[in-house]
Amino acid sequence: MNNSSFERFQPIAFLGINTQETKIIRSLSQNLMATVWLPNSSKSWENPELVPDNLKYYDGSLSGHLTNIWGEYRAFVFCLATGAVVRLIAPLLKSKDWDPAVVVIDGAGKFVISLCSGHQGGADLLAKLIAHQIDATPVITGASSSLQLPAIDILGYPYGWVKGSGNWTGVMAAIARQERVQVIQEAGSILWQHQHLENNIFDFDSTTTTIRQALIWISEQKRSFVKSELPQVQWHPRVLWIGIGCERGTSKELIEKAVIATCEKYDLAPEAIAGIATIDIKADEVGILELCNCWNLPLKTFTSARLRQVTVPTPSEIVRQEVGTSSVAEAAAICAVEKDLNSLIVPKQVFKEKDQPGGVTVAVAKADREYTGRTGKLYLVGIGPGSLAQITPAAKVAITEADVVIGYSLYLDLIQPLLRPEQIIESFPITQEKQRGERAISLAEWGLTVAVVSSGDCGIYGMAGLVLEQLKIKHWDGKTPQVKVFPGISALQAAASRVGAPLMHDFCAISLSDLLTPWEVIKKRLEAAAMADFVTALYNPRSQKRTQQIITAQEIFLNHRDKNTPVAIVRSVYRDEEQITITTLEKMLDTAIDMLTTVIIGNSNTCNYQDWMITPRGYLDK
Ligand code: SAH
C-alpha cells in the first residue's frame, strides 16, 4: 500500500539494490512509491511475486545512469556502501538549493543515513521516515538535529513561506554555535515561536537594541539588510493578495509588469504573494489566468454585488457604470483577505503602456494568516499502550512526518523520541477532547499535516470518532483535509498479551465511565455481556470520583459466573510502572484498580495455568 507520508519526496529513485534483498526492498519501495532501478545485466528478479511495482532496467554503468536521471528525481535512496555513493554523487552535486535528497541504507537494513541535502532536500526527514518504516536507526549528522534545534532553512515550509535572500549557511552556523539570533517577524504564523520560547537561541523582542549574532526577518517586505557582515536571512510568508482590474484582452506581460512594479515601489517581496483577486466576470481573462498559471497562484473571484459592499479609498464612477461596482482591484484585494479597508497596503495603481493594448489596475491587501498552498492532512494515530516498541511503523512515520502533533501531555511524553524540533507540539489536558479535535481540524483546514494521538487504538474510546463527528458537523467533503486513521494496539490486547490468551473466544469491551454514557445503558450492557458469557474487558474501571461502578460490575458478573472465574487486573501495561495481577471474580476488588487499569473478566471456560490466563478456543475438545 502506498504511504502518503512519502508524497512530498516524489519522485524517488531507488538504486544499488541487490535482487536477493527482495522482501524488504519490495515493501519499502512500494511504500515509498519509488522507481526501483536495476542494471540490465543483473539477473532478473528471482521470485516473480516479489517484483516491485515500479521496476525499471538501465543500460551501462550506474554512474552513467545516475548522471542521466539526476535531474529527474527529488530523492535518491541507495542500498550501497556510503563510500561508493559519495563517489557516485560527488561530480553531480551543485548546491543546497538544488541538490536532491540522498539517503543510504545499509545492506542489512539496520541504518538509514541522511547523506546529502538534509534540510532543504528533506533527506533528514526522509531518512527518519524510512528508518521508522523498516525499524532501523536513522543516522542524522546535521548540527541542528544533534542540538535539537529547528533547521532554520526549512522552518517556514509547513506554512508555505518562501525563502528570500540571505546568508543561510551563516545563520545556521550561528545557531549551531548556540549564539543568540534575533527574529523580526512582521507577517505569518508565530506558532513556531511558541516552541522555542525557552531554548534561549531566538530573541523575539523586536525592541532589543543590541544586535545579536545573526538576524532572521520574516516579512512580506523585501528588507535591505542592516550591517552587512551580520549573517541575515529572509523568509516571506504568503500574505499578499493582489487585486487586479483590467481591460479585456490585457496581456499577461503587462499585468506581470504592473505587479512587479507595484512590489518594487512598495518594497514588497513578490515571494510573499498569496494569490490574485478580481471580479467574477474576469474569471476567464486570459492574461490573468496565464499569470496565475506561470506563478502558480490561486485566483479568487467575487461578484460585483460583493465588491460593492466594500469601502475603498479610490472608487471610480466609470468603473461602476461598466461593471456595477466602483472598485475592482481594491475591493477584490480586501475581499480576498476577508477584512476591511485597513488591510489595504497598496491603493489602486494604474498601468498602461503606449505600445501595448489594455490597461491594468493593481491594489494589494495583507492577510492576517498566510496562504499555505497545501492540502491539509489529519492523521488520527493510535500509539499503543505506552512503550515505543508497541507502536506500528506506520504510526511512527505519521507522527514524525506531521507538522503538528496534538495530544494529551502524558502521551506526548511517551512518543518524545519520535518528535522533531521543527514540529509544533500542542498538549491539552485530559478533559479537553473537543478542543483538541477542533484545533486539529482548523490547522489541517489551513493546510498543515496534523497528527492527533490517542493511547492504544485511536478508534477505541479515542480521538478518531470525535474528530470524524466534528468534521461531519462541518459538512466536510471527505477529501479536504485528507484523513487517515492509524490503528494501535488497544489496552485490551496489550493487557491480554501480558497475562496469556484470555481473549481467545468471543469478547467485548465495556467502558465504566458514565461521563458520556448514562449509567443505565452501561449496566444493561454489563448484564448482557455477563449473561452471554462474553470475556469482558472493562475500560475506565474506576476513578477517584467514580468508585461504585466497578463494585456493581462485579455484582452483575457474580450473578452469572462462578466466583472463581479468572480475572486479570493490568495497570499501566508496557509502561515503566506496569502491574499485573491475576485473581478471581470474587476477590478482584482486593487489588487496587484505577483509571490506568484494564480489567479482563474471563468467560465460564477461562482457566489459569502457572502465571497465565487461558480462554480455550475449543481445538482440544474436538
Ligand atoms: N484508546 C485507548 C483507550 C482509552 S480509554 C485504547 O485503545 O487502549 C482509557 C482507558 O484505557 C483507561 O482508563 C484504561 O482502562 C485503559 N488503558 C489505556 N492505557 C492503558 C495501559 N497502558 N494499561 C492499562 N490500561 C490502559
Centre of ligand 1 from the C-alpha of residue 188, in Å: 39
Q: Is the peptide bond before 357 cis (omega within 30 degrees of 0)?
A: no
Centre of ligand 1 from the C-alpha of residue 573, in Å: 9
C-alpha cell at 38: 536495476
Residue ranges lining ligand 1, Cβ < 6 Å: 385-386, 454-457, 460-462, 490-491, 495, 539-541, 570-573, 575, 595-598
What pLDDT, on the 0 to 100 scale, is given for residue 21? 58
Q: Is the pTM of this model over 0.85?
A: yes
Centre of ligand 1 from the C-alpha of residue 494, in Å: 9
Point out which residues pair with 384 in neighbouring strands.
456
Please report the atom of ligand 1 found closest to the CA of residue 541.
Answer: 15
C-alpha cell at 127: 531518512
Which domains does the chain possess?
4-141 (3.40.50.11220), 157-236 (no CATH), 241-258+273-366 (3.30.420.180), 377-489 (3.40.1010.10), 492-619 (3.30.950.10)
What pLDDT, on the 0 to 100 scale, is given for residue 1? 47
Q: pLDDT of 474-518, one tens digit each?
A: 999 999 999 999 999 999 999 999 999 999 999 999 999 999 999
DSSP letter string, 133-180 = HHT-EEE---HHHHTT---TTTTTGGGT-EEEEE-HHHHHHHHHTT--
Which of 488, 510, 540 has its CA nearest to residue 601? 510
Q: Whose CA is nearest to atom 9 of ligand 1?
A: 540
Best mutation site among 414, 573, 598, 601 for ligand 1 pocket (most ligand atoms within 8 Å of CB): 598
CA distance 239 to 220: 7
Best mutation site among 458, 460, 461 for ligand 1 pocket (most ligand atoms within 8 Å of CB): 461
Q: Is the peptide bond before 481 cis (omega within 30 degrees of 0)?
A: yes
Please report the atom of ligand 1 found closest to the CA of residue 462.
Answer: 1
CA distance 122 to 117: 6
Residue 144 sits at φ, ψ, to 5 deg, of -65, -30
Across the 622 residues of the chain, what is the mean pLDDT of every consecutive 10-residue run?
75 81 72 88 69 86 94 94 95 90 90 92 92 91 78 90 90 86 93 83 76 87 77 96 95 95 97 98 96 97 96 92 94 95 95 85 97 96 94 95 94 91 89 93 97 97 97 97 98 98 98 96 98 98 96 98 98 96 98 97 97 95 81
Centre of ligand 1 from the C-alpha of residue 421, in Å: 28
What pLDDT, on the 0 to 100 scale, is given for residue 86? 96
Alpha-carbon distance values, 70 to 91, 378, 569 (Å): 11, 33, 58
Q: Whose CA is nearest to atom 15 of ligand 1?
A: 539
Residue 316 sits at φ, ψ, to 5 deg, of -135, 125
Q: Which residues of 339-376 are buried (b: 16+ CB within 10 A; e: fewer)?
A: beeebbbbebbebeeeeeebebbbbbbbbebbbbebeb
Please report the atom of ligand 1 found closest to the CA of residue 457.
Answer: 7
